[in-house]
């Protein structure tokens, strides 16, 4: 996949344990996580929209993972996400987000209008 320390999404989630029985898994956890990330970034708000987005963008998703069984249903997405340890998921997510900005120095946003005193003084 990618080297440790890289901002690759799935690398940071590798410690998540798939809560399902291994013999019954049709959709690997990494495929579900990638689908959820991509669909959410694209504006999907719920599991139904995530499933629809995935069905419409299978070619894109298959550039990264096989998706041999196609896209899971919204019910499957909901069940898998509900079964994942939320605290571990949170720590994985925060580590991923933090890893995205490792090369970026601390940034302080300054409103240019305020600093030039051209803001509305009312």
For 78-91, write each residue's pLDDT tens digit: 999 999 999 999 99
Q: What percent of the chain has pLDDT over 70?
A: 77
Token pair 């919204």 is found at: 74
Q: Give counts: helices (H), strands (E), the chain.
A: 7, 0
CA-to-CA distance for 78 and 98, rounded, in angstroms?
26
Does residue 4 surpass a pLDDT of 90? no
Residue 72 and residue 27 in contact, taking contact as beta carbons nearer than 8 Å: yes
**pLDDT value of position 9:** 83
Residue 54 and residue 35 in contact, taking contact as beta carbons nearer than 8 Å: yes
Residue 13 and residue 90 in contact, taking contact as beta carbons nearer than 8 Å: no
């Amino acid at each position: 996949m990618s080297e440790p320390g890289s901002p690759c999404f799935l690398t940071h989630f590798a410690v998540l344990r798939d809560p399902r029985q291994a013999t019954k898994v049709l959709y690997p956890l990494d495929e579900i996580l990638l689908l959820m990330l991509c669909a959410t970034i694209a504006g999907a708000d719920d599991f139904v929209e995530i499933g629809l987005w995935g069905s419409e963008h299978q070619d894109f998703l298959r550039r990264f993972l096989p998706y041999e069984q196609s896209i899971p249903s919204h019910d499957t997405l909901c069940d898998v996400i509900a079964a994942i340890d939320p605290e571990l998921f949170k720590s994985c997510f925060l580590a991923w987000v933090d890893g995205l900005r490792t090369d970026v120095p601390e940034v302080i946003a300054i409103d240019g209008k305020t600093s030039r005193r051209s803001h509305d003084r009312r």
